[in-house]
C-alpha cells in the first residue's frame, strides 16, 4: 500500500511539473505569434517577408500579412493580404489617410504578381472578381536598396 501511495505521489508531482512546463512553453510561444505577420517599415526585411508570401502563394501554401504604410503628412494605409494558396484577398484600408478617398478596397484574386523595375520590387494582384482578368489591382512597392 505504501509503495502504491509513494508511486502515485511521484506520478502526480511529475505530471504537475510537466503540465507547468508545457503551459510555460505555450505562453512564451504565443508572444511570437504575430512576429513576421505585421510589417511597419518598408525595408529589406519587409521585402524579404513579402517575397516569402509570394513564394508560399506560388507553392499553393497559405499565408497572412499586414503591411502598415507610414505617410509623412497623413494617416497610414493598411494592406491586409491573406492567401489560402489558391486565391488571395488583398485589402487596402485608406480610412485613416485624410488625403485619400477614405475607403476600403477589397480584391479577391487568383494571381499574385511580382515585377522588378528601377531598383523597386512591385507586388500586385490580378484576375480579380468583378474586374477584367488583365486588370492590375492593389499594388505595393518595395525598394531593393
The CA–CA distances, whole Å, from 124 to 23, 47, 142 equal 41, 13, 12
In tens digits, what is the pLDDT along the chain, a chain of 145 residues?
777 877 677 767 776 676 666 655 544 444 444 557 887 766 778 888 999 999 999 999 999 999 888 777 777 888 899 999 999 999 988 888 776 677 889 999 999 999 998 889 999 999 999 999 888 888 888 888 7
- Per-domain residue ranges of the chain: 1-33, 38-143
CA distance 13 to 17: 6
CA distance 89 to 130: 13
Here the cell at position 55 is 513564394
**Number of Cβ atoms within 10 Å of the Cβ of 99:** 10
Residue-level pLDDT at 25: 52
Residue-level pLDDT at 29: 42
Here the cell at position 46 is 519587409
Mean pLDDT estimate for the chain: 81
Residue-level pLDDT at 28: 44
pTM: 0.70
Residue-level pLDDT at 121: 92
- Closest-CA residue to 82 (of 105, 59, 109): 109
Here the cell at position 25 is 512553453
CA distance 135 to 125: 8
Amino acid at each position: 500500500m505504501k509503495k502504491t501511495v509513494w508511486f502515485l505521489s511521484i506520478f502526480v508531482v511529475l505530471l504537475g511539473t510537466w503540465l507547468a512546463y508545457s503551459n510555460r512553453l505555450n505562453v512564451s510561444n504565443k508572444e511570437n505569434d504575430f512576429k513576421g505577420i505585421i510589417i511597419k517599415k518598408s525595408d529589406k526585411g519587409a521585402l524579404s517577408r513579402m517575397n516569402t508570401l509570394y513564394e508560399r502563394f506560388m507553392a499553393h501554401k497559405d499565408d497572412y500579412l499586414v503591411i502598415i504604410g507610414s505617410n509623412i503628412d497623413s494617416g497610414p494605409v493598411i494592406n491586409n493580404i491573406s492567401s489560402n494558396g489558391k486565391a488571395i484577398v488583398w485589402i487596402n484600408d485608406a480610412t485613416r489617410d485624410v488625403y485619400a478617398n477614405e475607403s476600403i478596397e477589397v480584391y479577391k484574386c487568383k494571381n499574385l504578381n511580382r515585377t522588378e523595375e528601377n531598383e523597386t520590387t512591385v507586388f500586385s494582384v490580378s484576375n480579380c472578381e468583378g474586374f477584367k482578368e488583365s486588370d492590375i489591382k492593389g499594388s505595393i512597392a518595395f525598394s531593393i536598396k
